[in-house]
């Protein structure tokens, strides 16, 4: 005699085991729907991770270069005018080569022609080219592209002054002295408006340079300004935002008036990030993606002594 429950049990087991039956092909349909979504998410994570890794590497590199400059003297270790020579926009002291790595022997300058620059004389690494080359060598195995990437190095001195409204950091100079001002700065950094005697006669330049800072290749340009993207007012805002007390409130009054004058080295890296996979459905983000990272560190050797008169 047949067991009446045998067929029922078999059916139940088939359902629990998802044995193909009337639902044949369901898993294939589900896989077809979900797999593309899963793959896009996975590939997106790969691209985001690649971007984040390169960005964080550049941040660390800019900090390392800033530390390099913080323990050196940008006045004693630099000949004025060298920032306007192509031979000083490289990492090798061999005359006639324009190398970012030693021994390359690049016979022609790999960056764009920059107005006001000349060939000049090469020599051992000094302050600004030393900082820039610290970026290039420490970013390996990431590659610095001579045709699109750039590095800008500035040294900014500032004084704590009170011209009404409370003590505030005010820029009193920006080095190199002949590459420190663009049209949107509004004034030469060596001519602070609160000084009764006016400009620094040794470093003031009445003409607008069209450049801010030492540039390594001269590739980065915004609104006719080569080099640093930070104007005088933007630098002052950045410095003043860091002047906070232990509770996070701005330092004001007598406490701020006792803060010392200081100077900083500002290192900026402009780098074109190429997507790792270069897939069509990520092109709306942009490829390449322009990255701008920066760091600044104190440089005690050029602290200003000027005070309001």
- Strand pairing of 168-175 and 150-161? antiparallel
- Angle 68-69-70 from CA coordinates, rounded to 5°: 95
Per-residue confidence (pLDDT) for residue 135, from 0 to 100: 96
Q: Where exactly are the structural domains of the chain?
A: 45-302
> For residues 84 and 80, what is the distance between their CA atoms, to the nearest angstrom?
9
Instruction: Please give the model's pTM, rounded to 2 decimal places.
Output: 0.84
pLDDT (tens digit, 0 to 9) for every residue of the chain, 309 residues total? 556 655 666 665 665 565 555 556 677 777 778 888 888 888 888 888 999 999 999 999 999 999 999 999 999 999 999 999 999 998 988 888 898 887 788 889 999 988 889 999 898 999 999 999 999 999 999 999 999 999 999 999 998 887 777 788 899 999 999 899 999 999 999 998 887 777 788 888 888 999 999 999 999 999 999 999 999 999 998 888 877 777 777 776 666 667 788 999 999 999 999 988 877 777 777 788 999 999 999 998 887 765 554
| pLDDT at residue 147, as a whole number | 92
Task: Indicate the pairing of strand 180-181 with strand 214-215.
Answer: unpaired
């Amino acid at each position: 005699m047949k067991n009446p429950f045998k067929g029922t049990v078999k059916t139940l087991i088939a359902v629990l085991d998802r044995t193909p039956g009337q639902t044949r092909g369901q898993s294939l349909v589900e896989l077809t729907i979900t797999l593309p979504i899963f793959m896009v998410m996975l590939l997106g994570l790969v691209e985001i991770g690649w971007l984040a890794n390169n960005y964080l590497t550049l941040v660390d590199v800019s900090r390392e270069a800033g530390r390099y400059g913080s323990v050196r003297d940008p006045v004693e270790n630099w000949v004025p005018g060298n920032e306007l020579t192509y031979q000083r926009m490289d990492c090798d002291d061999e005359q006639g080569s324009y190398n970012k790595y030693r021994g390359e022997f690049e016979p022609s300058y790999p960056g764009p022609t920059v107005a006001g620059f000349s060939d000049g004389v090469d020599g051992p690494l000094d302050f600004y080219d030393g900082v820039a080359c610290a970026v290039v060598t420490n970013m390996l195995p990431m590659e610095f592209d001579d045709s699109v990437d750039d590095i800008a190095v500035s040294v900014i001195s500032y004084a704590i002054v009170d011209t009404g409204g409370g003590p505030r950091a005010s820029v009193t100079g920006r080095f190199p002295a002949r590459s420190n001002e663009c049209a949107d700065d509004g004034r030469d950094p060596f001519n602070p408006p609160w000084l009764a005697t006016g400009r620094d006669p040794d470093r003031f330049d009445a003409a607008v340079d069209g450049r801010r800072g030492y540039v390594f290749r001269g590739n980065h340009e915004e609104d006719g300004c080569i080099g640093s993207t930070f104007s005088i007012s933007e630098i002052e805002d950045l410095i003043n935002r860091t002047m906070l007390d232990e509770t996070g409130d701005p330092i004001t009054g007598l406490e701020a008036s006792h803060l010392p004058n200081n100077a900083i080295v500002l290192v900026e890296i402009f780098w074109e990030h190429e997507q790792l996979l270069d897939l069509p459905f990520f092109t709306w983000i942009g490829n390449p993606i322009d990255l701008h990272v920066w760091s600044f560190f104190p440089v005690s050797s050029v602290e200003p002594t000027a005070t309001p008169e």
